[in-house]
């Protein structure tokens, strides 16, 4: 057991040295063994000061209170408790403590200033509270008054929404009978009133578990579902956001400490289950609008599958499959052309397919996957009825939905006896709707090469027959897309073309013709893009397409439309045109071996060479591809899947290859669009987007490329490219972009440091690759003006300073400029580093002299600034040592030189050094010859 007084003294030393954690440990050990009440009070008071430094205000107030319990006039403890209570928002209690301090020491300016400030804050808070209550009531009075002017009601609605987004405002609305009044607004049936009410409820639920649960009970899940079911895209989206806010708050998004209130909101599982069941009911309900159904599916897609596969509990997914899989399959099987179908939007069935895919991917073992497949199999079998064609095409359409989602499940169903035959038979049906559903199913089922070869043998003649005979444009284009897909089954392998020379170009020409015809309905034109997404595997088709500016612009306009089912096809087309797909490395030795053994060897099309690709990229940029991509990125996550995001990121990376094109990308919103792609998606997609960001950030003004607060979001993706797993070119471009950012503002420098980039940057300063080493040194040069970076150089036991000095001795001018600049700034900001510079290597003086004698004026200037900083460092021995060396002769020669605009900065600093040496009495003034 230690001596409490000794432990207290040790804690005091640690506190004065700035080692707060060790001080807390010492004080805590002292508290355990101390028996003397007065000493214990002092220790508690001291530990309270530590907790204030650590911003642990609850413990700081608690320790100060224990000291005050022993001595009510302990002025230090009173003031520390006042500081902690103020930070905790308990202004009235803090005011009482500082009032007591001011009574004990009436002349203490700190106490008087704090007393005045807290008094003013309390008055302002009271004023705000009273005025907020009356404002809330006034807003509701305006909103619920039918005779009130429209603009006043709109203003009141917006004010209410803004107020609900602040915790204090949300609480005032809640306490002032706000929820029943908001329900009255919903009952009015007016869209703007319902929107205002729902958005206000969302604000009130955000980040507050207790309030969110209370609102769930007061409004009711069924009521919220009935609001989301309304046929209004805006209302459905707002209610979806309300459900998401409730889900986040109940399932862990709320991090606040409730204390005793925790018991009231502890068990949220029942409510989350109720919400999940209600959403599943909405999926297959005829009473729900298409927009409402979309949002119900979106909520399931976002909240049911695990976000992190490392988490073992996938019970939400299993529950959803057991209670809702058949309902989701029912949505996939809807055929809008038939009577008595569910209300849908153009996006609904694709969203349902994406949800099915996410649910299947979230399963962890074979029995779970078998159960999923069995439910699908049972559902399809129950719908196939030779006597009821409507039910049968519902089954075939459901398989199409599965083929667009969990492909393996759909593929297995297609392989079942009779399914493919039924699809072929439906193609020959007299009913156009049967033909359309069957052709779509054939298209989706030919995604695998083996399946495509089966259909090429059995289905090409059938599709050609339909294409020639049908007069319905919608069926004609679908059969054409089927032919397009089969024609591109060999990918970009020139030797694996499925059709005769020139056939794919003819198909593409017809697709472009439909695409450019605004008289044709949007869905049919979308299918034209679908066809091009396959055909552009052929380099001849790509080249023809980018030459057709009207076709490109028509595709971009469709990509910006409300129908987002086309995003993947547009992304695939752009991937093909820019050749930015994943390419397998071809090893020459293996090619020779394959030829020798008469195996197939992939061949590159002559138009897939670099100069053709560059020309296509320029054409796409000219046609406005960046603005289309920027709109596509904003699509809802349930349709903009991680795979589609990766494709878009690859396209952006290909577009940003040439530095001259990066300005166009920034001007059309490409910089902003890349940020979400770099933060979310597949690992490969995030890396590609981060690399494209690095290219843009390296040569752009950050304020223009990433306006507002967005610039700070860019730092993390850039830092991620410094990881040793990344390519050298990615490391290099990330360092260049961070150099640009670090030279822009102190806030950006601090952000780079907070993202823990320094260890990686320092690591690359040792890199053998000259360009990477130079880029890392330049980045560090721009970062050293940051206080935290300077502190790292002040620490003992590392070679950071030594490395900078040695880099100054390298032969590369640019490297010397960067390292010399870093040394100049460090020695100017921290005088201790002037002395440390002389201790890290015996070569320091020789390297410094080389810098001062350098031919490059920029390098020479930096060396002379370091000399000046050392003379100005308050270390007389160091200054004397410098002047006794050859440095004095160098300074004299440079200082006496005639003014020269090219070297003026160096000459001026040399003269300043000589003046400083005279001030220190190390040299005497010299007289110029007459």
**What residue has token string 């297959």?**
284
Q: Is 88 helix (H, G, I), strand (E, B) or coil?
A: coil
Q: What is the pTM of this model?
A: 0.71
Q: Supply the pLDDT for residue 450.
A: 45
Taking the C-alpha atoms of residue 717 and residue 711, their distance in angstroms, rounded to an integer, is 11
Q: Supply the pLDDT for residue 737.
A: 94
**Cβ-based neighbours of 421, under 8 Å, separated by 6 or more:** none
Backbone angles phi, psi at 893, to 5 degrees: -60, -45
Among 808, 824, 790, which residue's Cα sits nearest to residue 905?
Answer: 824
Given a contact cutoff of 8 angstroms between Cβ atoms, the answer to whether 890 and 849 are in contact is yes
Which letter does DSSP use for residue 147 in this model?
T
Given a contact cutoff of 8 angstroms between Cβ atoms, the answer to whether 223 and 194 are in contact is no
Q: Supply the pLDDT for residue 589.
A: 57
Averaged over 391-411, what is the pLDDT? Answer: 90
Q: Greater confidence, 463 or 842?
A: 842
> Using one digit for the tens of pLDDT, what is the confidence trace for 872-915?
888 888 889 888 889 889 999 998 888 888 888 999 999 999 99
Among 248, 335, 242, 350, which residue's Cα sits nearest to residue 294?
Answer: 350
pLDDT-derived band at 73 (thresholds 50, 70, 90) equals: confident
pLDDT-derived band at 597 (thresholds 50, 70, 90) equals: low
Pick from 333-342, 398-407, 589-598: least confident: 589-598
Q: Is the pLDDT reported for residue 787 higher than 70?
A: yes
Q: Is 626 helix (H, G, I), strand (E, B) or coil?
A: helix
Taking the C-alpha atoms of residue 725 and residue 651, their distance in angstroms, rounded to an integer, is 22
pLDDT-derived band at 355 (thresholds 50, 70, 90) equals: very high
Among 362, 339, 371, 334, which residue's Cα sits nearest to residue 349?
Answer: 334
Averaged over 665-683, what is the pLDDT? Answer: 90
Q: Supply the pLDDT for residue 276.
A: 93
Pick from 151-155, 629-633, 680-684, 844-848: least confident: 151-155
Compute CA distances 690 → 197, 318, 721, 758, 912, whole Å: 39, 35, 7, 18, 46
Cβ atoms within 10 A of the Cβ of 624, count? 17
> Using one digit for the tens of pLDDT, what is the confidence trace for 121-149?
888 776 665 555 666 777 777 777 777 77
Taking the C-alpha atoms of residue 277 and residue 324, their distance in angstroms, rounded to an integer, is 8
Helix, strand, coil percentages for the chain (3-state, nearest 5): 75, 0, 25
Taking the C-alpha atoms of residue 283 and residue 359, their distance in angstroms, rounded to an integer, is 15
> Using one digit for the tens of pLDDT, what is the confidence trace for 655-671?
999 999 999 999 988 98
Q: Is the pLDDT reported for residue 849 higher than 60?
A: yes
Pick from 474-488, 530-544, 636-650, 778-792: least confident: 474-488
Q: Is the pLDDT reported for residue 50 higher than 50?
A: yes
Which letter does DSSP use for residue 259 in this model?
G
Q: Supply the pLDDT for residue 423.
A: 81
Q: Is the pLDDT reported for residue 570 higher than 70?
A: yes
pLDDT-derived band at 151 (thresholds 50, 70, 90) equals: confident
Among 239, 351, 404, which residue's Cα sits nearest to residue 637?
Answer: 351
Buried b (16+ CB within 10 A) or exposed e, 686-695: bbbbbbbbbb
Q: Is the pLDDT reported for residue 689 higher than 80?
A: yes
Q: Supply the pLDDT for residue 266.
A: 52
Q: Is the pLDDT reported for residue 929 higher than 80?
A: no
Token reading at 634: 């904003």
Q: Supply the pLDDT for residue 54.
A: 86
Given a contact cutoff of 8 angstroms between Cβ atoms, the answer to whether 810 and 818 are in contact is no
Q: Supply the pLDDT for residue 452.
A: 45
Q: Supply the pLDDT for residue 538.
A: 84
Q: What percent of the chain has pLDDT over 90?
A: 38
> Using one digit for the tens of pLDDT, what is the confidence trace for 244-302?
999 998 887 555 544 444 444 456 888 889 999 999 999 999 999 999 999 999 999 99
**What residue has token string 């055929």?**
335
Compute CA distances 496 → 222, 471, 500, 581, 610, whole Å: 57, 32, 11, 18, 21
Backbone angles phi, psi at 430, to 5 degrees: -75, -25
Q: Supply the pLDDT for residue 258.
A: 44
């Amino acid at each position: 057991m230690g001596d409490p007084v000794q432990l207290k003294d040790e804690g005091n030393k640690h506190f004065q040295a700035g080692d707060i954690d060790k001080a807390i440990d010492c004080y805590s050990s002292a508290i355990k063994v101390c028996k003397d009440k007065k000493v214990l009070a002092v220790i508690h008071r001291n530990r309270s000061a530590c907790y204030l430094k650590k911003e642990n205000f609850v413990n700081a107030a608690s320790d100060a209170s224990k000291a005050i319990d022993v001595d009510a006039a302990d002025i230090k403890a009173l003031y520390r408790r006042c500081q902690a209570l103020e930070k905790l928002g308990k202004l009235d209690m803090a005011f009482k403590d500082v009032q007591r301090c001011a009574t004990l020491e009436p002349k203490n300016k700190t106490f008087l200033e704090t007393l005045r400030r807290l008094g003013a804050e309390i008055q302002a808070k009271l004023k705000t509270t009273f005025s907020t209550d009356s404002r809330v009531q006034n807003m509701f009075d305006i909103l619920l008054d039918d005779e009130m002017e429209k603009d006043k009601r709109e203003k009141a609605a917006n004010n209410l929404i803004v107020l609900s987004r602040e915790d204090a405002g949300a609480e005032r609305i809640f306490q002032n009978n706000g929820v029943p009044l908001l329900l009255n607004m919903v009952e009015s049936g007016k869209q703007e009133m319902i929107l205002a009410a729902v958005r206000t409820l969302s604000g009130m639920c955000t980040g507050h578990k207790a309030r969110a649960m209370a609102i769930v009970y007061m409004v009711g899940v069924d009521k919220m579902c009935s609001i989301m079911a309304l046929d209004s895209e805006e209302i459905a989206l707002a209610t979806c956001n309300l459900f998401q806010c409730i889900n986040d708050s109940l399932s862990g998004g709320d991090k606040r400490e409730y204390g005793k209130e925790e018991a009231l909101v502890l068990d949220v599982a029942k409510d989350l289950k109720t919400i999940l069941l209600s959403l599943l009911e909405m999926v297959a309900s005829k009473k729900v609008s298409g927009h409402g159904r979309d949002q119900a599916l979106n909520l399931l897609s976002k909240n049911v599958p695990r976000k992190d596969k490392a988490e073992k509990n996938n019970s939400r997914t299993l529950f959803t499959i057991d209670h809702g899989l058949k309902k989701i399959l029912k949505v996939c099987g809807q055929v809008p052309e038939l009577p008595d179908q569910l209300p849908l939007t153009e996006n609904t069935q694709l969203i349902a397919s994406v949800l099915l895919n996410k649910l299947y991917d979230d399963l962890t073992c074979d029995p779970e996957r078998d159960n999923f497949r069995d439910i699908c199999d049972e559902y399809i079998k129950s719908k196939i009825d030779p006597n009821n064609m409507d039910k049968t095409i519902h089954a075939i359409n459901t398989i199409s939905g599965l083929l667009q989602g969990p492909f393996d499940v759909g593929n297995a169903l297609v392989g079942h006896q009779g399914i493919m035959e039924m699809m072929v038979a439906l193609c020959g049906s007299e009913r156009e709707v049967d033909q359309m559903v069957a052709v779509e199913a054939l298209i989706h089922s030919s995604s695998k090469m083996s399946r495509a070869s089966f259909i090429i043998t059995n289905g090409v003649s059938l599709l050609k027959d339909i294409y020639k005979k049908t007069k319905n444009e919608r069926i004609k284009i679908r059969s054409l897309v089927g032919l397009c897909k089969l024609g591109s089954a060999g990918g970009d392998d020139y030797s694996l073309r499925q059709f005769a020379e020139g056939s794919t170009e003819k198909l593409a020409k017809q697709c472009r013709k439909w695409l450019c015809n605004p008289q044709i309905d949007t869905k049919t034109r979308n299918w034209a893009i679908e066809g091009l997404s396959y055909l552009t595997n052929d380099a001849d088709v790509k080249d023809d397409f980018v030459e057709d500016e009207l076709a490109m612009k028509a595709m971009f306009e469709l990509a910006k439309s409300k129908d987002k089912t086309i995003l993947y096809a547009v992304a695939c087309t752009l991937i093909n045109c820019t050749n930015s797909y994943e390419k397998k490395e071809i090893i020459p030795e293996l090619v020779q071996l394959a030829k020798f053994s008469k195996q197939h060897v992939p061949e590159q099309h002559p138009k897939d060479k670099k100069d053709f690709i560059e020309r296509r990229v320029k054409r796409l940029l000219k046609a406005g591809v960046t603005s289309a991509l920027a709109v596509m990125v904003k699509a809802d996550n349930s349709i903009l899947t991680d795979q589609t995001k990766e494709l878009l990121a690859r396209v952006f990376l290909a577009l940003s290859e040439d530095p001259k094109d990066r300005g166009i990308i920034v001007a059309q919103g490409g910089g902003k669009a890349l940020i979400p792609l770099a933060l979310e998606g597949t690992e490969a997609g995030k890396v590609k987007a981060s690399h494209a960001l690095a290219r843009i950030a390296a040569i752009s003004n950050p304020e223009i490329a990433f306006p507002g607060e967005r610039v700070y979001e860019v730092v993390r993706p850039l830092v991620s490219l410094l990881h040793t797993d990344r390519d050298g070119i990615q490391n290099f471009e990330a360092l260049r972009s961070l150099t640009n950012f670090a030279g822009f503002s102190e806030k950006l420098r601090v952000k780079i440091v907070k993202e823990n980039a320094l260890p990686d940057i320092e690591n690359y300063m040792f890199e053998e690759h000259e360009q990477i080493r130079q880029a890392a040194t330049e980045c560090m040069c721009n970062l050293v003006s940051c206080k935290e970076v300077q502190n790292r150089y002040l620490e003992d036991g590392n070679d950071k300073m030594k490395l900078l000095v040695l880099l100054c001795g390298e032969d590369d001018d640019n490297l010397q400029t960067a390292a010399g600049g870093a040394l100049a700034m460090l020695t100017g900001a921290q005088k201790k580093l002037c002395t440390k510079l002389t201790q890290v290597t015996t070569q320091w003086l020789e390297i410094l002299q080389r810098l001062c004698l350098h031919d490059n004026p920029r390098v020479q200037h930096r060396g002379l600034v370091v000399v000046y900083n050392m003379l100005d460092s308050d270390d007389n021995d160091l200054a004397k040592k410098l002047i006794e060396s050859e440095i004095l002769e160098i300074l004299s020669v440079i200082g006496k030189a005639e003014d020269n605009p090219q070297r003026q900065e160096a000459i001026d600093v040399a003269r300043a050094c000589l003046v400083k040496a005279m001030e220190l009495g190390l040299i005497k003034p010299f007289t110029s010859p007459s």
